[in-house]
Amino acid sequence: MTWIFENWERFWEVTEVHLRLSVVPVLIGFVLSIPLGWWANRSQTTRAVLFPLANVLFTIPSIALIVITPVLLGVKILDEINVIVPLVVYTVALMLRSVADALAAVPGNVIAAANAMGFRPLRRFLTVDFPLALPVTIAGLRVATVSNISMVSVGALVGLGGYGQLFTEGYQTDNTPKVLAGLIGTVVLAVLADGLLLLIGRLLTPWARAGR
């Protein structure tokens, strides 16, 4: 802890990087997974292709993906894209399933009622299906966010990665407080982000707790 107070500026700087490297991919991945999840829920074929693909992507170790991305994309080694792209891939792989499952769980008679009342497809998706899928989707988003926050540290291997840099530097210089500072930062960030999403979820879905 004392390391954090003594090196406040440095700590704050890596926190910012860490936050950016984890939040940006979550947002992009989340936005991408909505149409993909919708598509997977609509068509059996799409589902049969996307789900196994998502599973395979998820099993690739994050180190491998982060190291290989610059080669694949042809960008500079130190570019933040190298961390963001793999994390977007993970987020989509995870969220795709959440969104598709959440949409599949929307009750059939509610959908039939919406159709019978004359909703057009896009409006129905935005005002009926998606809002009803929110509780499950947000649960998936929380998992994706927390796992992203922990995975960003791996980026330190390619010279990026927020708190991960404190790990590598601390390890190389035998500076345990510095390693601990990175650890504490990661955990606190994860807990805060998770709590924030939980709160947002509750505010967005007051009906979900309106039981009998």
**How far, in Å, CA of 174 to CA of 186, rounded?**
20
Q: Which of 103, 114, 151, 166 binds another protein (CB under 8 A)?
A: 114
Amino acid letter, residue 134: L
Here the contacts of 55-58 (C-beta below 8 Å, separation 24 or greater) are: 55/93, 57/89, 57/90, 57/93, 58/90, 58/93, 58/94
Sign of CA dihedral 30, 187, 171, 4: positive
If one asks whether residue 103 binds another protein (CB under 8 A), the answer comes out as no
- Give the nearest distance from C-beta 135 to another protein in angstroms: 10
If one asks whether residue 61 binds another protein (CB under 8 A), the answer comes out as no
Interacting span for another protein (CB under 8 A) from 60-68, 103-111, 171-179, 180-188: 103-111
Identify residues 166-195 at the interface with another protein (CB under 8 A): none
If one asks whether residue 203 binds another protein (CB under 8 A), the answer comes out as no
SS3 content of the chain, % helix, strand, coil (to 5): 85, 0, 15
- Residue placing its CB nearer to another protein in the complex, 64 or 110: 110
Size of the site for another protein (CB under 8 A): 23
Q: Which of 5, 109, 122, 203 binds another protein (CB under 8 A)?
A: 109
**How far, in Å, CA of 67 to CA of 91, rounded?**
18
Task: Please report, as ranges, the residues that interact with another protein according to CB under 8 A.
Answer: 107, 109-110, 112-120, 123, 128, 131-132, 205-208, 210-212
